[in-house]
Amino acid sequence: MSQALVEHAEAVAQRAYAPYSKYFVGAVVLMTDGTEFTGTNVENAAYPLTQCAEKTAIGAAATAGYRPGDIAAVGISASPCGGCRQWLYEWRVSEISYRRADGSIGTATCAELLPDTWELPSGGGSPEPSKSEGAGSAGAGSAQQ
């Protein structure tokens, strides 16, 4: 399955919009129910606004109503960047296959690609500071007694 997904991603990569780098990347997201979504990198002159292929494909899956845990596998025409590794981790992808620089296919879990990832703490976020830590009505910069 991993080789077929990577080869499909390579075919999809030919549709990428990469006028600046000329580096075409494709991704195929295989859902647990067998549905596939594809994505390519979409560049922008303001380079940080560029969309990676993995994020494009995952975004299409999210738009269709899928959520983290619904992705069975992902195939990518290149090794995923650090930001995409975080996306893959948050979407709980169990198998990621990609074309390595030497031409071989690598297959890994998201934990193997990003072993010490950041996760949202349980409960949704940082706890509110207590009044004794400065969260009272005194306001920022006010002296506390």
| Catalytic-labelled residue, pool 10, 54, 128, 133 | 54
Tell me, yes or no, if 95 is annotated catalytic.
no
| 3-state SS class at 49 | helix
pLDDT of residue 69: 95
In a domain, 145, yes or no: no
Asked whether residue 10 is assigned to any structural domain, the reply reads yes
Say if 61 falls within a structural domain: yes
Residue 44 is part of which domain span? Answer: 2-124
**pTM of this prediction?**
0.81
pLDDT attached to residue 138:
45
Q: Is residue 129 domain-resident? A: no
- Is the residue at 141 inside a domain? no
2 Cβ neighbours under 8 A, 6+ residues apart: 73, 75, 95, 97, 105, 107
Running along the chain, 145 residues long, what does each successive block of 10 average in pLDDT? 94 98 98 98 95 98 97 98 94 96 96 85 58 47 45
**Is residue 9 included in any domain, yes or no?**
yes
Q: Tally the domains of the chain.
A: 1
Question: Does residue 32 belong to any structural domain of this protein?
Answer: yes
Domain containing residue 118: CATH number: 3.40.140.10
In a domain, 65, yes or no: yes
pLDDT of residue 125: 55
CA distances to 25, 58, 75, 93 from 4, rounded to whole Å, are: 16, 19, 8, 17
The answer to whether the CB of 5 falls within 8 A of the CB of 94 is no
- pLDDT of 1 reads 73
- Please give the pLDDT value at position 142: 42
